[in-house]
Structures are given as structure tokens and as C-alpha cells.
Structure 1
Amino acid sequence: MRARLSWVLWDVKDTLLKVRLSVGEQYCKEAERVGLSLNPLEVDAAFRHAYRNYSRRYPNYGISQGLDGQSWWMGVVRDTFFQCRVQDPALLNTMAYNLYHNFCNAENWEVFPDSKKALEGCCSLGLKLGVVSNFDSRLEEILRVCGLLSHFSFLITSEVAGVAKPSPVIFDQALQKCGVPAACVAHIGDHYVNDYLTSRSVGIHGLLLDRYGKHNLPDVPREHRISSLEELLPWLQQHMD
């Protein structure tokens, strides 16, 4: 007899919402406030380099190395601007601090048009919802200002969990909070490895959200892939019958 679904776990970034502007545009707006004129494309490239470097040297916000989300992100921002020839330490710290806190504002995020309806539909089916996200401690505030927080019974971020996807440990923590077997849980996310493969490795019903048709992968059956959250409720209803 097939287990009945009772929980749905969610990834957040690029699943329920996305950054409204490019990083280069966001960072250049902050630079303008302190009288600097920078090229968004150059800043974007510098950010990608700084982000990769920090991710390699200090994985998961450097939690195991004594850092936290804020110090990690401020380091990325300072390195980004330093590559763009901004060398004043006070200026670098000011912009890094401001950008870290500015990303909690709703105007910096765009909720996908199908997100709220999908969350409300899950709740109307009697399903409980949780978040499993590679994110820092700002996530709760971001979900709150975007009008999504009230749908969730719990949030697990990689900063708080001390471990990030694709480690299955973060999903094990989520299952403990759900208090039901993995077969009673689904997970929705846009990342093939972090969301789909890892959730399925612990027995969760992983679904891959492929909004832009970029995941043409032979090992992802069509019934495990949706192109929008509008397709989610029919899938869930099938697994609740």
C-alpha cells in the first residue's frame, strides 16, 4: 500500500522567488549611493569570481571555520568591489554592510506568479509545508516581507543546520521535524543534484522544477519533472489518493 503524502518541502531561491535585478545592478546601485560609478557587467564578473572563491575556501558560509552568513557575505562583497578598484576599507565595509541588509527588502525579490497559489493549494489539500534551503539566516525575514512565511511550519537553512545540500543530512533534519516517514514527504526544487537527487536519496518524493526547459536529463522521468508550479497540485492529488 502506497504511503499517503502529508508534507511538502520547498527550496526557495529560483523555486518560489528570484532576485529581481542582477548582482551587478544591485551592487552598482549601492556604489552610486556613496558616489561611485561602476560598470554592472564588470561588477557581475567580479562577484562571480569572489563568490566561487569564498564558496571553495569557506563552504556553507564558513560555519565550520568560525564565520557566519553575514561575515561571509560581507567578505564576498568587499572582494567584489576590491576587484573593481575600490580600495578604501571604510567604504568597502559600509557597502558590504548595507548590501547584506538591503537583501532583506521585498523590492529586491520577485515572487514567481505561480508560487502563492501553489502554496495555498497545498494547504487546502491539508498538506503541511516546510523549507529546506541553502540560505543564510535572512531567509525567514525575506519570506516574511514577500508574504510567504505564514505557509510554512518550519524553515531549515544550511547556515542554521550547519550542513548544505547536497548533503542528505539536511533532509534528515527536515524529516525529523516532519515526524513522518520519507515516503510521506515530497520536495520541490529547481536544482538537479541539490534538490532532486539528494531528496530522492533519502526516500523523499523529489520533484524537479524546470521552469526554463534546461534539464533534459534521461535519468529524470517525465513524471518527476514539472515546468511550473501550476502542475504541482494535480501531481500531489494523485499521490494523496
Structure 2
Amino acid sequence: MAAPSGGDRPKVIFLDAVGTLFGVRGSVGQIYQAVAQSFGVDAPSDRLNQAFFQEFRAAPPMAFPHSDPATIPHQEYQWWEAIARNTFQQAGVLEQFADFPQFFQALYQHFATAQPWLIYPDVLPALKGWRSQGIELGIISNFDSRLYAVLNALNLSSFFSSVTISTEVGTAKPNPHLFQASLQKHQIAPHQAWHIGDSHREDYQGAKAVGLRAIWIRRAVG
């Protein structure tokens, strides 16, 4: 990750979460396969992985504008359940589940733990370096509210003074409102912040359009 220096130093560096700070161990398909096997269902991991990304890319943004905050966790759950159900349907094994809702509950909870995630090797040195320079750090993510549990499980929470997620704001990157909500938390202008993320459209173009210095980091996709 880039290291600021001298007059180039921002007041705040925002980062995306999944795909930037940490990624899936192996592949989503491998994890779906492993959890499904514990429920007596088997399907090729490569087929599940392909089906998952087709469904994920076709899904609407995970943002629920004008929703009662108390209902958001349930809406997040339903959003992911639809993707998982369609993934196994597309893989041709959905009918093998004796109780798909029970399986999905286990799958959903699994992704709230540290087990399926891997922190990228350059992340901790960068976070420690920025913190030592007195730079505030924040997260801007289109992930759901399980992100708080994942950050805690990966021992990353202490690095960040703000976490802003799409489901809480009601709009997803690249919509400018998500970036603006993050800036407001730190009471800074866009030119005083950087944003680093792995999506050219959501992170780089989204942040640049608001006036932040945008940095696109390209990770290997599992």
C-alpha cells in the first residue's frame, strides 16, 4: 500500500474492507462447499464459486434507504440468503438440502468469524505505519454489519476511528453520499483524505468523484 510523506500526508486515510484489508481464504466456492458438506450436500467448489459471483454481481446494491435501523440486520440476512440460494440452485444441488434455512444460518454466522478471512500481508505494516504518523484511519465498505465482528475477530478494530457501511447509510459505493458520510464523521474536506480500495468503479471512481485522493489497489481474486 502507498505510504504518504511530507506535504502529501492526508489527515485521514479511508480503506475498503473486503478485497482491500482482507480477503477470503481459498475461494468463496470452497467455503460454500465445506459448509454444505457438513449438511450432507456436495457440489464442485469451482461451480459454486462461478455461480456465486454471477449472482453477487447481478444483485442490487446492499443498501436499504429509509429503513428502520432495527430492521437492517434482517434485510442484510435476506439479501445474502437470496444470493446463496440462487448459487446452489444454479449449481444444481439446492434440492439436496433437507433444511436450507438452517444451512444458511450456519454459513452466515461462519462469515462473521475470522476463520474464512485472510489479512493481506501488506496491511498490518501499512496500518501501523500510518498510525505512527498520526494519520486517522477509517473504513468505507459495502459489506454488511457483520463487518464489526470480523474486524474484532481479525484484531483490526483498534486501528480505525470510523467505520461507515452502506446498509447503515442507505446507499452504496460509488454513490457520493457514503463517502460524504465518512468525511462528516472526521469533520474534514475531501481533499484532506485518501481512499484506498480494490474496485475501480466503487472505490477509485467513487472517491475521485467526491474529491478524495483515490488509490486503486489490485488484489488477486479467489
TM-score band by shorter chain is: 0.7 to 0.9
Q: Is 1:121 matched up with 2:112?
A: no
Q: Which amino acid aligns with 2:108?
A: Y
Unaligned regions of 5+ residues in structure 1, if any? 213-241
Distance 1:4 1:110 in 2: 28
Matches within 5 A, 1:177-188: 177-188=185-196
Distance 1:156 1:179 in 2: 14
Q: TM-score, normalising length from structure 1?
A: 0.79
Paired residue secondary structure (1:106): coil
Distance 1:121 1:185 in 2: 16
Partners of 2:63 and 2:172 within 8 A in 1: no
Partners of 2:207 and 2:214 within 8 A in 1: yes
Q: Pairwise CA RMSD of aligned residues?
A: 2.1
Q: Which has the higher contact order (CA 8 A, sep 6+)?
A: 2
Number of aligned residue pairs = 207
Partner deviation per Cα, 1:128-149 (whole Å, 9 max, x = no partner): 1110011111111111111111
Partners of 2:176 and 2:210 within 8 A in 1: yes
Partners of 1:60 and 1:159 within 8 A in 2: no
Q: Which residue of 1 aligns with 2:141?
A: 133
Q: Which residue of 2 aligns with 1:30?
A: 35
Q: TM-score, normalising length from structure 2?
A: 0.85
Task: Select 2:24's aligned residue among 10, 15, 19.
Answer: 19
Matches within 5 A, 1:158-197: 158-197=166-205
Partners of 2:41 and 2:93 within 8 A in 1: no
Structure 1 segments, 4+ long, off by >6 Å, are none
Paired residue secondary structure (1:123): helix
Paired residue secondary structure (1:80): helix
Task: Select 1:81's aligned residue among 53, 68, 88.
Answer: 88
Q: Which amino acid aligns with 2:33?
A: C
Partners of 1:7 and 1:129 within 8 A in 2: yes
Distance 1:92 1:50 in 2: 17
Unaligned regions of 5+ residues in structure 2, if any? 1-6, 68-73
Q: Which amino acid aligns with 2:120?
A: F
Partners of 1:168 and 1:199 within 8 A in 2: yes
Q: Which residue of 2 aligns with 1:198?
A: 206
**Aligned-pair CA distance for 1:159:** 1.2
